[in-house]
Structure 1
Amino acid sequence: MYPKILVMSYKVSSDKMGEDYNFQGVEFNLITQDYAESISAAGAIPLLMPYLEARQNDEAYIREFLNLADGVVLPGGSDIDPALYGSYPQKNLGSITPERDRWELKILKIAKEMGKPILGICRGFQLINVFYGGSLKVDVCGNSVETKIPHMASMVPKYYKTHKLNIKPGTRLAEVFAASEIAVNSFHHQAVDKVGNNLKVSAVAPDGFVEGIEDSDYPYLVGVQWHPEMMAAREPVQLKLFEDFVQFIIKNK
């Protein structure tokens, strides 16, 4: 049987979907197709878990939902509410959805209590850091930031290799990629500032920004700042992260 991977989706109102979908009061649950394709290519079945306002405080319901899955993926998306890491709205903060933040933090908490393998990507990586008591840099693309790397490289294709990163030896990522360096895409304007408690840094960009974290005391909890799902179809090396996630689940079911 194929393992089942739960991917968190997020709520978007129709006024943000463009004029073809502008139906008053209608909301959508979205996730990009790349997550489903990468999870499927890695040998698992992708399942969607939407934000459910009526169930946001119903832990029994959430646990039963999580029981349907063998692992959880926290995907990319909007900025995280700065109040969650002791900060406040600042210049260049993007749009936030506080209810999504609190919903996904609750999912993360319960998934950990249940021992579910967890993979966080971009926003999901940042959310993991916040969950562990870490903080974020609100914006790393402004004029005041001294880096030549365009971390929000929205001018290039999704699979474009924007920069290389260094992988720390003795980490899960070093085992996954069997390399000390890998080229990645980059679509983020926030970044890890203070690393969360008990998290190990597994990868860094040439300018020092954290690109990978993991909890080596937990069976499987890995976060990456880039978007491997956007590269996997063209760059087989990027699929290795999803394959590792799925194979861990298969071996430990």
Structure 2
Amino acid sequence: MNVPVIGITLDSEDPGGYSNMPWYALRQNYADVVVESGGLPLALPHEPDQVAAYVEKLDGLVVTGGAFDVDPAMFGATTRHDTVVTKDRRTLFEKNVTEAMLAADKPVLGICGGQQLLHVILGGTLIQHIPDEVENALAHEQPNPRTEAGHSVKVVAGTLLHRIVGTETLAVNSAHHQAAKEVSSNITVNAVAEDGVIEGIEDNRYRFCLGVQWHPEYLISEGDRRIIDAFIKASAR
């Protein structure tokens, strides 16, 4: 099997903390799981004008999460919740590179905030703040460590995700205050939390287009490992 080159989007931070200049960041386990499943990770700086060159070299794309939100204007919202924080250059780059990878029918895996961006790209909208829109919501920003489960999700039978994980229920970690809301005709919901919050999506027009609201790179379940393995396998074709 060829060793697929997997682009992983970076986070970006303003000066302070690590450096007195703007800096990029990536949690190590994003790269670790790609290597363990047989891929070659490649970190992607936010260069919107270089998207075509990136896509030419990449076999698959991981759109990562972060402590920020998709601009509500991207999905047609006319109001913006007080909790919303955006990183406009990062989002522009991730949107452009995701759209280009899909146009080339190369595998895309959206994780947490990456799943939310993928949902918007595919025509969906977002809940801007779960506690304000979901009655009796679970603790989607779990207080316990990300290496542990925060809640479980029901996996929808017959979906790509179900074929990958081979189970109807999956324990997941949870670190988000936004979530997928309205679903377009392109989107198939593949996982739902007990409170009704959408936890996973896919688009079957593409050979591998999957988004999960949790963080499978922590490998807290066999299902998480299978998600990464399946993505790398699809990228190696």
TM bracket, shorter-chain basis:
over 0.9
The 1:248–1:51 alpha-carbon spacing in structure 2 relative to 1, beyond 3 Å, is same
Query: Is 2:88 the partner of 1:98?
Result: yes
Q: TM-score, normalised by structure 2?
A: 0.93
C-alpha contact (below 8 Å) 1:141/1:151 kept by paired residues: no
Equivalences for residues 31-110 of structure 1 within 5 A:
31-52=26-47, 56=48, 58=49, 61-77=50-66, 78-110=68-100
Amino acid at match of 2:35: S
Amino acid at match of 1:5: I
Amino acid at match of 1:10: D
C-alpha contact (below 8 Å) 1:131/1:196 kept by paired residues: no
Q: What's the Cα RMSD here?
A: 1.6
Amino acid at match of 1:180: E
| Structure 2 match to 1:169 | 157
Q: Distance in 1 between matches of 2:105 and 2:70?
A: 25
Q: Distance in 1 between matches of 2:52 and 2:137?
A: 44
Helix, strand or coil for the counterpart of 2:182? Answer: coil
Helix, strand or coil for the counterpart of 1:67? Answer: helix
| Structure 2 match to 1:117 | 107
Q: Distance in 1 between matches of 2:75 and 2:138?
A: 25
C-alpha contact (below 8 Å) 2:171/2:221 kept by paired residues: no
Q: CA deviation at 1:147?
A: 2.0
Q: Distance in 2 between matches of 1:196 and 1:125?
A: 14
Residues 40-90 of structure 1 show CA distances to partners (whole Å, capped at 9, x for unaligned) of: 1111111111112xxx2x3xx321222211101111011111110111453
C-alpha contact (below 8 Å) 2:37/2:228 kept by paired residues: yes
Q: CA deviation at 1:33?
A: 1.0
| Structure 2 match to 1:4 | 5
Query: Is 2:151 the partner of 1:156?
Result: no
| Structure 2 match to 1:223 | 211
Amino acid at match of 1:103: F
* Structure with greater Cα Rg: 1
Q: Distance in 2 between matches of 1:89 and 1:34?
A: 35
The 1:148–1:82 alpha-carbon spacing in structure 2 relative to 1, beyond 3 Å, is closer
The 1:108–1:148 alpha-carbon spacing in structure 2 relative to 1, beyond 3 Å, is closer
C-alpha contact (below 8 Å) 1:79/1:93 kept by paired residues: no
Q: CA deviation at 1:102?
A: 1.7
Q: TM-score, normalised by structure 1?
A: 0.88
1:235 to 194, 197, 221: 221
Helix, strand or coil for the counterpart of 2:69? Answer: coil
| Structure 2 match to 1:134 | 124
Q: Distance in 2 between matches of 1:139 and 1:32?
A: 25
Helix, strand or coil for the counterpart of 1:100? Answer: helix
Runs of at least 5 residues in structure 1 that lack an aligned partner in the other structure: none
Amino acid at match of 1:12: E
| Structure 2 match to 1:196 | 184
Q: Distance in 2 between matches of 1:248 and 1:22?
A: 37
Q: Distance in 2 between matches of 1:121 and 1:31?
A: 13
Q: CA deviation at 1:148?
A: 4.4
| Structure 2 match to 1:146 | 135
Q: Distance in 1 between matches of 2:52 and 2:185?
A: 25
Amino acid at match of 2:200: G
Identity value in percent = 32
